[in-house]
Amino acid sequence: MIQTIYRWLITWGINELLAVRLARYGSIVLIALLSIIAFYIARHLLLLLVERVVNHSKTSWDDYLLKRRFFSRIAYLAPAAVLYIFAPYALEGVLFESWQTIINYFIGLYVILLLVLIIDSLISALLDICRNYEFFKELPLTSFFQALKIGLYLLGVILFVSVLLGQSPLYLFSGLGAVAAVLSFVYQDALRGFVAGIQLTANKMVSRGDWIEMPSYDVNGTVSEVGLTTVKIRNFDYSITTVPTYALISSSFKNWRHMLESDGRRVVRALYIDMSSIRFCDAALLDKLRQIHHLTDYITTMEQEINTYNHEMGIDDASLANGRRLTNVGLFREYIAIYLRHHPAVNTRLALSVHQLEPTVDGLPIQLLFYTTEKTDKYMPVQSDIFDHLLSVVSEFDLRLFQHLSGQHLQTFMSTPHDSEMENNQE
């Protein structure tokens, strides 16, 4: 290239010594211009063509490559390729051998840095692609791909330093023992997180999209990302909590995934009955309760069964303690069970139980255990609707719910005339 420019300058009548210098520096300027032109073509024209092809393609993987700047970073290789190919022709001669070595030296460093960035974009795009497949959704992909990037950066640093020092990469690998000891101390959280990520994956303990509760970190929300060192959780109040990955191994947490995958969500609550309101059912109460559709057939059947039993056993009706009798709390329990079986939001294929617990100072607990078909947003409204109804209907059974006295209760009690005062007034 220099000879061509030199002969062209001589034909123009330029001095030989000046022509040599102009030829050498002119070739350098020409190579620089070619590099700029190559970068412009690759960065603007070819990349624009690639973007049009990607936007009109039916596949999605190329969209992720474009999003992660994979193609744009490849375009930066164009000027390096031009310099590497044409620099020997522009810098030929003994005088410029040192310059050629320096240029190749910087080209090598530039290419290593650029290749690391290109592979980084490829790994990020691959992560985005994997997240679209159901098979990979339960895996902590972020941890694995972050580990790949760390390995990539370490390899890039080793190659960069080897070119910088003019040593073989194998020479640097031989000294990694001491470096590894230092790195294991500096990056101990990353290493612990990586090991924890493997354990989480192997045991399928947590994955992206799981609803978890972790009281020790005040966490109650959905896992949005499982990283190499941290797990990101979006709480239901839309706050974000980051928890160390290894904390999910060393501490306890509750994962609601299997509940969401099941046919329902469990409800366990109790109604506390004032025990002073519990009694046997008389004829008037039975006639009133028989008007409740859910209890009509049950009361008729139980009356026949009880009358037959008492008659066969020769029970004396003089005392209510003799024989078998229906109670208002027993009918209330049965009503709750029938009501739940007929409720459209209750999953009757799963366990359903209405039973008494041990009496407490707060009354007799009637515990309800059932599963709703709603598992997320509508779970609480369904539960509230059911107990709204039960709290309202309990008085139909001549029962009272236990409630601690408040100031209003005491005020009402004090304003009500006592029996002795009423008797005195009557006299």
pLDDT(318) > 60: yes
Predicted TM-score (pTM) of this structure: 0.50
When pLDDT is averaged across residues 331-341 and rounded to a whole number, the result is 95
> Which residue do the tokens 């020997």 mark?
88
When pLDDT is averaged across residues 217-246 and rounded to a whole number, the result is 86
**How much is the pLDDT for 290?**
92
When pLDDT is averaged across residues 93-122 and rounded to a whole number, the result is 78
If one compares 65 and 279, the residue with the highest pLDDT of the two is 279
Lowest mean pLDDT among 72-81, 281-290, 415-424: 415-424
C-alpha neighbours within 13 Å on the C-beta side of residue 147: 19
Class of domain 262-279+327-427 (CATH, top level): alpha beta
Write out the two tokens for 101: 């070595």
Distance CA 397, CA 36 (A): 91
Give the range with max mean pLDDT: 121-135, 242-256, 321-335. Answer: 321-335
Q: pLDDT per residue over 265-277, tens digit each?
A: 889 999 999 999 9
What is the overall mean pLDDT for the chain?
80
pLDDT band at 356 (very low <50, low <70, confident <90, very high): very high
pLDDT band at 104 (very low <50, low <70, confident <90, very high): confident
**How much is the pLDDT for 30?**
74
When pLDDT is averaged across residues 408-418 and rounded to a whole number, the result is 57
**How much is the pLDDT for 338?**
95
When pLDDT is averaged across residues 186-208 and rounded to a whole number, the result is 73
Of the candidates 334, 332, 307, which has an alpha carbon nearest to the alpha carbon of residue 395?
Answer: 332
Which residues touch 132 (CB under 8 Å, ≥6 apart)?
60
* DSSP letter string, 366-392: EEEEEEES--STTHHHHHHHHHHHHHH
pLDDT(226) > 90: no
**How much is the pLDDT for 224?**
87
Lowest mean pLDDT among 217-231, 290-304, 390-404: 217-231
**How much is the pLDDT for 175?**
62
When pLDDT is averaged across residues 329-356 and rounded to a whole number, the result is 93
Distance CA 32, CA 28 (A): 6
When pLDDT is averaged across residues 54-79 and rounded to a whole number, the result is 81
Domain spans in the chain, listed from the N-terminal domain onward: 2-132, 262-279+327-427, 287-324
pLDDT(250) > 90: no
pLDDT(253) > 80: yes
323 φ/ψ sector (left φ>0, alpha ψ -120 to 50, else beta): left
Q: pLDDT per residue over 14-59, tens digit each?
A: 555 555 555 566 666 777 787 888 888 887 787 778 778 777 777 7
pLDDT(353) > 90: yes
**Residues of the chain by 3-state class (helix, strand, coil), percent to 5:** 65, 10, 25
pLDDT band at 261 (very low <50, low <70, confident <90, very high): low
**How much is the pLDDT for 421?**
47
pLDDT(406) > 60: yes
